[in-house]
Amino acid sequence: MKHKPLREQVIVITGASSGIGLATARMAAERGARVVMAARSGDALARIRAEIEGIGGKAIDVVADVGRRADVQAVADRAEATFGGFDTWVNVAGGSIYGRLREISDADHERLVQTNFWGTVYGSLVATEHLRQHGGALINVGSIASDLAFPFQGMYAASKHAVKGFTDALRMELMYEKAPVSVTLIKPASIDTPLPQRARNYMDREPSLPPPIYPPEEVANAILHAAVHPQRDIFVGGAGKAFTAGKEFAPGAYDYLAPAIIALQKRASAPRNPDGALHAPVAAGEMRGDPPLPVMRTSAYTRATLHPLAAAAGLVGIGAATALAVLSNAPGRRRPL
């Protein structure tokens, strides 16, 4: 299945006021797409829309809480009223909680699942009702936590596991119906976004992300690639793929990494904003965070998976060059002067 070029598409992005959602909105607009941005932070969305319009792009912003189905439906209705519909829907909105599972309140757990899981469910079901008739792409942003557990982010991992199960089941149902809709699950590793600073934090330290950390533009590029050239799953960050494969090979051994994983999620400084943005929008409008470690420039692994034929050709070329070098140095073979 192949979809329209980006310059001919209308793309809906939830969680567009910060992090991966903001990176995707900016990149989509730069590539000529019309963008429908949704988030809880109205002021931040208005600034981002003005920024996009300032470079000649087209965008609208809709204040919405993805944890409420009526709000999600309102986003789709605005896209229909303004642009006549949409071609790609991207579910990005989400958050996290840092702390021991037994210490976190039921209200916080419920709110996280309402945003991460039910927000994705509502977005997916609303989007596919439209896309069934017109064709297009549904793209859900999961995480390597869709396949791995992270102690001290236990409910985040649980919600992303649930997103994976829901996304896979929905894809199968759409295939059974022969609906012209592609469904992609994006699985980022640690990404340089404000997610740690916006998370609800029960720890006595400021939260952090385990290295290596990749730029949000890598995720945005993968999302927009899938909007035109669908793929079932896309890992963003080769380290994430390696950890997932290692866990599948030796799940018991992965469990013993708990002390290291917990340590890597703590910075040396005291918490700055323990409440975060779990229940109310705060500090929106930033694409990147402030990790204490250097951020990778790109992910060679992800770039290769987006263009598998080019990657295969490169491997063949490397193999041919290697074989030629071996043969040219074989015993008894004369070397050119």
Backbone angles phi, psi at 172, to 5 degrees: -65, -40
Query: Residue 11 and residue 220: Cα distance in Å, rounded?
Result: 12
Instruction: Give residue-wise pLDDT tens across range 221-271.
Output: 999 999 999 999 999 999 999 999 999 999 999 999 999 999 999 999 999
176 has catalytic annotation: no
Q: Which residue among 98, 156, 214, 301 is the active-site one?
A: 156
Tokens 């119906």 -> residue: 177
Q: What is the pLDDT along the chain (337 residues), one digit of tens a residue?
A: 789 999 999 999 999 999 999 999 999 999 999 999 999 999 999 999 999 999 999 999 999 999 999 999 999 999 999 999 999 999 999 999 999 999 999 999 999 999 999 999 999 999 999 999 999 999 999 999 999 999 999 999 999 999 999 999 999 999 999 999 999 999 999 999 999 999 999 999 999 999 999 999 999 999 999 999 999 999 999 999 999 999 999 999 999 999 999 999 999 999 999 999 999 998 799 999 999 999 999 999 999 999 866 544 443 343 333 334 333 444 444 433 3
Q: Where are the alpha helices (DSSP H) in the chain?
A: 19-30, 42-54, 69-83, 106-113, 119-134, 154-177, 195-198, 216-228, 238-249, 251-255, 258-264, 300-306, 308-328
Query: Residue 244 and residue 250: Cα distance in Å, rounded?
Result: 10
* Whole-structure pTM value: 0.91
